[in-house]
Amino acid sequence: MAITAAQVKELREITGIGMMECKKALEETDGDMDKAIEELRKKGLAKAAKKADRETTEGWIKIEVEWDKAYVVSVSCETDFLANSDRFKAMLAEVLNFLKANGADSKEAAQEMINNNFSLELGENLQIREYNILSGSKIGAYVHSNGKLAATVISKSSETSEEKLKQVAMHITAAKPEYLSPAEISDEIVENEQRIQLEIMKNDPKMGNKPDDVLLKIIEGKMGKFKSEISLLEQDFVMDPNVKLKDFIGHDVLVAFTRYSI
């Protein structure tokens, strides 16, 4: 019988095995899903198949910066033991090289490569999380020693200090900013925070008996602090809390940033 792409996709999602192996197993079993799984197990792929539905809460992030580009990949796995192994890190290097050679649109093919070449050997469910290429005049990056936290930051000037950009990236992993500057925060976000603060005050025995217009004036005064706390440029610099991040790196230098975590 003819095997459909949907059948192959389903078997692949169940087992974590590569597309071609799944298709072949389905053809050999006339499309019977259970028998196809058994066939994969008989071929020595059982280890990966049994673990394909397990949670992947560990892993490692790898970033390489080359001139005006940054290559970012992360692969999750099941255990910290594997994530810290030399073999896992060697696999990450191969995934990053695959990204360089094939572009950011090749994520599915990269996952296929992992399924075919590493899942059985390493014995865990392996899933690509980050797979991207960033471009900019100057890019800074930082990966924490545990491999689970990282950040990239893009400057509009190629003259920006590489060391300063790295320190900003370190700050991002620790301070968790959500926006580059207050100007990026939408009115909807601010209004939602105002509603939350209003409800908090109404439930406060000391404030709840005050009129809404009085409470709203108090809340309005807090919105500046709220915006500053979630905006990278307005945050206190982690390495020197007496200095704003914008005063450390410059008020109009950064273009964008991304924080990564596993």
| Confidence band of 30 (pLDDT split at 50, 70, 90) | very high
Contacts of 235-241 with C-beta under 8 Å, sequence gap 24+, read 235/171, 235/175, 235/177, 237/171, 238/170, 238/171, 238/174, 238/175, 239/167, 239/170, 239/171
| Confidence band of 81 (pLDDT split at 50, 70, 90) | very high
Domain residue ranges of the chain, discontinuous segments joined by +: 5-51, 58-174
Angle CA 90–93–95, to nearest 5: 115
Task: Count the Cβ atoms, other than its own, within 10 Å of residue 169.
Answer: 22
> Smallest Cα–Cα separation from 169: which of 147, 149, 153, 148?
153
SS3 content of the chain, % helix, strand, coil (to 5): 55, 20, 25
Please say if the pLDDT value at position 43 is more than 60.
Answer: yes
Per CATH, which fold does 58-174 belong to? Tetrahydropterin Synthase; Chain A (3.30.479)
Q: Is 183 exposed, middle or buried (0-12, 13-18, 19+ CB in 10 A)?
A: exposed
Kindly report the CATH number that applies to the domain delimited by 5-51.
Answer: 1.10.8.10
Calpha distance 262→258 (Å, rounded): 14
Q: What is the DSSP letter of 231?
A: B
* Chain position carrying tokens 């892993």: 59
Please tell me the pTM assigned to this model. 0.78
List 60's β-bridge partners, or say none.
Answer: 75
Say what the pLDDT of residue 87 is: 96
Please say if the pLDDT value at position 47 is more than 70.
Answer: no
Backbone angles phi, psi at 83, to 5 degrees: -60, -30
- Cβ atoms of 138 and 68 within 8 Å: the answer is yes
- pLDDT (tens digit per residue) in 83-110: 999 999 999 999 999 999 999 999 999 9
